[in-house]
Amino acid sequence: MMTPKGNVLVIDDHTARATALAEKVRTAGYRAEVYSDVNAAYRFLAGNHELDVILCELDLRAVSWQEARRALRELDLQVPAIIFSDHADLDKMMTALRLGASDFFVRPIEDEDALFKSIERCVRQRQMRRELQESRQRLERTNTELRGTVKMLEQDQQAGRQVQLRMLPVSPMVLEPYVFSHTVIPSLYLSGDFTDYFTVGDHHVAFFMADVSGHGSSSAFTTVLLKNLFARKRSDFLHRDDNTLMSPVAMLKRANEELLGLGIGKFATMVVGLLDTAENTLRYSVAGHLPQPVLMSAAGARYLRGEGSAVGIMEDVAYEEHLIDLPKQFMLALFSDGILEILPPKNLIEKEKYFLKVFEESAESPEDIATRLGLDRVETAPDDIAALFISKRS
- pLDDT, residue 117, reads 94
Residue 103: domain span: 7-136
Q: Is the pLDDT of residue 159 over 80?
A: no
Tell which of 136, 158, 188 closes a domain.
136
- Please tell me whether residues 128 and 222 are part of one structural domain: no
Tell which of 89, 115, 136 closes a domain.
136
Q: Is 150 inside any structural domain?
A: no
- Please tell me whether residues 189 and 131 are part of one structural domain: no
Q: What is the mean pLDDT of residues 294-310?
A: 92
What CATH number should be reported for the domain holding residue 280?
A: 3.60.40.10
Q: Is the pLDDT of residue 19 over 90?
A: yes
The tens digit of pLDDT for each residue in 90-138 reads 877 787 777 678 888 988 888 999 999 999 999 998 888 888 888 998 9
The tens digit of pLDDT for each residue in 43-94 reads 787 766 688 898 988 877 766 656 666 665 665 567 888 989 888 888 777 8
Number of domains in the chain: 2
Q: Is 257 inside any structural domain?
A: yes
Q: Is the pLDDT of residue 379 over 80?
A: no
Q: Is 329 inside any structural domain?
A: yes
Q: Is the pLDDT of residue 157 over 70?
A: no
- pLDDT, residue 227, reads 92
Q: Kindly indicate the confidence band of residue 18, based on its pLDDT and cuts at 50, 70 and 90.
A: very high
Tell which of 136, 159, 184 closes a domain.
136
What CATH number should be reported for the domain holding residue 46?
A: 3.40.50.2300
Proportion of the chain above pLDDT 70, given as a percent: 91
Q: Is the pLDDT of residue 304 over 80?
A: yes
Non-local CB neighbours of 105 within 8 Å, separated by 6+ positions: 82, 83, 84, 85, 114, 115, 118
Q: Is 143 inside any structural domain?
A: no
- pLDDT, residue 102, reads 85
- pLDDT, residue 67, reads 67
Q: Is the pLDDT of residue 221 over 80?
A: yes
CA angle, corner 191, sides to 166 and 376, nearest 5?
A: 85
Q: Is 215 inside any structural domain?
A: yes
C-alpha span between 138 and 1 (Å, rounded):
31
Give 309's DSSP letter.
Answer: P
324 vs 358, residue with greater confidence: 324
The torsion region of residue 297 among left (phi > 0), alpha (psi -120 to 50) and beta comes to beta
- pLDDT, residue 10, reads 93
